[in-house]
């Protein structure tokens, strides 16, 4: 199967629409944090509010592999439009939510849309841009996340101050409509029609297993104890269903998640790198603000800007690494990147017990540079190793690994922090306790970075090229 994307002159509008849709997902991941007090005051059920985040992440994570496979069958355009449509529907429903359970259910609808938007945006970039261009364009998409990390909490705070939290969701409506209209108008692909066998059984088994396992990871130690019947049952049933899924995929004519993704050395190692990237990011984004606010009394805006240095370094490195990996190869570029990540996390960990806004900002900036040099080329290497009809699955597997890394990271880092924080709320902890707990988390993040070095070293030096159609000239580096 091949896909011919529209004229080169149409790539600008396509990229803008992809950046808008990515921005929707990115802002929605952070905008609720500052609006939660207002939402709880209006809807009540304070104990349920963590599910606003968990159900969104869960719905997004479990659907990524399914959307990715379907995009290799029917094309990218219908899948990303379905994602935008679901996100729009979820946003409208959230805006009219009448209770906390209803808002949680509608957040799940948003998550179903987000599960299509992010992997499709990155896959489309792989389709319409050459190897030389992809790193710079991925840098543009990464910059959207950086801007959103600042804009999201700011918007949430503004709507909270205005006592109009529903505006957090209604603001998505015009953006979804604009993005969808631009995609319909500018993005054209020709998919060769052929009969397909839909792997319904695999899709159902994968959804059930991932839902139970990710739910157990997200809620373990939070909603219930790790050794509780709920936790043990979710892991046991989820694991059993996952084994059944593996057997089903071995017999499926067109598996929803082909097992060859994990049997090819390049794809396996880049997926493991994605796992580490997800864990490192969640560790820093979750604890740096609390650390700076609680230890040195930094205002939330200052703490956010210190963390924002990470999202400044990422697009800068991503824009530069295109020429680099064409000269020295994907693996060597990735090794440079992960070295920066280790250096940045080491800096933060060493000075963890001696809080300094400047040092944390410098460390985050170095980590961001490293992420640009490791996350982008490893993903592009995986995409470049397959043809059009496998690129969606490969991209989805990499992004799914990041989601799993984040979910596991939340659980591990949370357990480490809680062993020092205890059951108290952050507002009631002393500066010394917050410093000690956060420093312990930063050491764990450093360990994850070091382990990710192993996955990067294990990457093969030369990707095995599929018969993909490159939209522009450019040789694959060895």
Q: What is the pLDDT of residue 16?
A: 86
**For the chain, domain boundaries:** 1-186, 200-253, 258-469
Cα–Cα distance, 34 to 23 (Å, whole number):
18
Cα–Cα distance, 87 to 107 (Å, whole number):
9
Per-residue pLDDT tens over the stretch 190-227: 766 666 677 778 888 888 888 888 778 777 776 677 78
The pair of structure tokens assigned to 23 is 């921005």
Give CATH for domain 1-186: 1.20.1250.20
Per-residue pLDDT tens over the stretch 270-299: 999 999 998 898 888 878 877 888 888 887
Asked if 406 and 278 count as a contact pair (C-beta separation under 8 A), the reply is yes
Q: What is the pLDDT of residue 43?
A: 86
Average pLDDT of the segment spanning 54-82: 85
Q: Which residues contact 386 (CB under 8 A, 6 or more apart)?
A: 394, 466, 468
CA 170, distance to chain mean position in Å, is 23
A 10 A CB-CB count for 273 gives: 31
Per-residue pLDDT tens over the stretch 111-135: 899 889 888 888 888 888 877 777 7
pTM, two decimal places: 0.79
Q: What is the pLDDT of residue 455?
A: 93
Q: What is the pLDDT of residue 144?
A: 79
Phi and psi at 297, nearest 5°, equal 70, 30
Question: 329: left (phi > 0), else alpha (psi -120 to 50), else beta?
Answer: left
Q: Lowest mean pLDDT: which of 168-182, 382-396, 459-473?
A: 459-473
- Partners of 349 in the β-ladder: none
What average pLDDT is seen over the chain? 81
Calculate what percentage of the chain has a pLDDT beyond 90: 20
Pick among 3.90.950.10, 1.20.1250.20, 3.40.30.10, 2.60.40.10: CATH of 258-469: 1.20.1250.20
Q: What is the pLDDT of residue 193?
A: 65
Per-residue pLDDT tens over the stretch 3-24: 444 434 478 888 888 888 888 8
Same fold, 1-186 and 258-469: yes
- Partners of 3 in the β-ladder: 191
Residue 471, pLDDT > 70, answer no
Q: What is the pLDDT of residue 262?
A: 80
């Amino acid at each position: 199967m091949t896909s011919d994307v529209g004229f080169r002159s149409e790539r600008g509008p396509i990229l803008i629409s992809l950046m808008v849709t990515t921005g929707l997902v990115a802002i929605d991941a952070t905008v609720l944090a500052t609006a939660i007090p207002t939402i709880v005051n209006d809807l009540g059920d304070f104990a349920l509010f963590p599910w606003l985040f968990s159900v969104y992440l869960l719905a997004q994570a479990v659907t990524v592999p399914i959307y990715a496979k379907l995009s290799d069958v029917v094309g990218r355009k219908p899948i990303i439009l379905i994602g935008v449509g679901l996100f729009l529907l979820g946003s409208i429903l959230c805006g009219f939510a009448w209770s906390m359970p209803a808002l949680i259910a509608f957040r799940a609808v948003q998550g179903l849309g987000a599960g299509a938007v992010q992997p499709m945006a990155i896959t489309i970039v792989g389709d319409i841009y050459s190897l030389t261009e992809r790193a710079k364009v991925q840098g543009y998409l990464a910059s959207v996340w950086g801007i959103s990390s600042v804009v999201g909490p700011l918007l949430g705070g503004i709507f909270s101050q205005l006592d109009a939290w529903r505006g957090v969701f209604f603001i998505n409506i015009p953006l979804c409509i604009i993005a969808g209209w631009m995609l319909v108008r500018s993005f054209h692909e020709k998919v060769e029609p052929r009969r397909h066998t839909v792997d319904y059984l695999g899709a159902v088994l994968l959804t059930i297993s991932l839902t139970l396992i990710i739910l157990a990871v997200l809620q373990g130690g939070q909603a219930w104890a790790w050794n509780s019947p709920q936790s043990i049952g979710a892991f046991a049933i989820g694991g059993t269903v996952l084994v059944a899924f593996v057997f089903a995929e071995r017999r499926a004519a067109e598996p929803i998640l082909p097992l060859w993704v994990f049997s090819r050395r390049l794809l396996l190692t880049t997926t493991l790198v994605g796992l580490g990237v997800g864990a490192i990011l969640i560790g820093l984004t979750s604890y740096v603000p609390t650390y700076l606010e609680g230890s040195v009394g930094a205002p939330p805006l200052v703490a956010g800007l210190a963390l924002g240095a990470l999202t400044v370094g990422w697009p800068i490195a991503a824009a530069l690494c295109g020429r680099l990996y064409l000269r020295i190869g994907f693996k060597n570029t990735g090794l440079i990147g992960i070295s920066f990540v280790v250096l940045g996390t080491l800096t933060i960990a060493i000075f963890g017990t001696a809080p300094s806004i400047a040092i944390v900002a410098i460390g985050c900036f170095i980590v961001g540079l490293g992420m640009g040099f490791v996350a982008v080329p490893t993903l592009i290497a995986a995409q470049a190793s397959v043809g059009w009809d496998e690129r969606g699955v490969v991209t989805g597997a990499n992004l799914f690994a990041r989601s799993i890394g984040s979910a596991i990271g939340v659980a591990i880092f949370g357990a480490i922090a809680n062993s020092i924080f205890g059951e108290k709320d952050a507002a009631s902890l002393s500066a010394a306790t917050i410093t000690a707990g956060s420093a312990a988390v930063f050491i764990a993040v450093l360990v994850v970075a070091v382990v990710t070095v192993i996955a990067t070293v294990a990457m093969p030096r030369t990707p095995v090229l599929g018969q993909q159609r490159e939209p522009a000239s450019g040789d694959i580096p060895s």
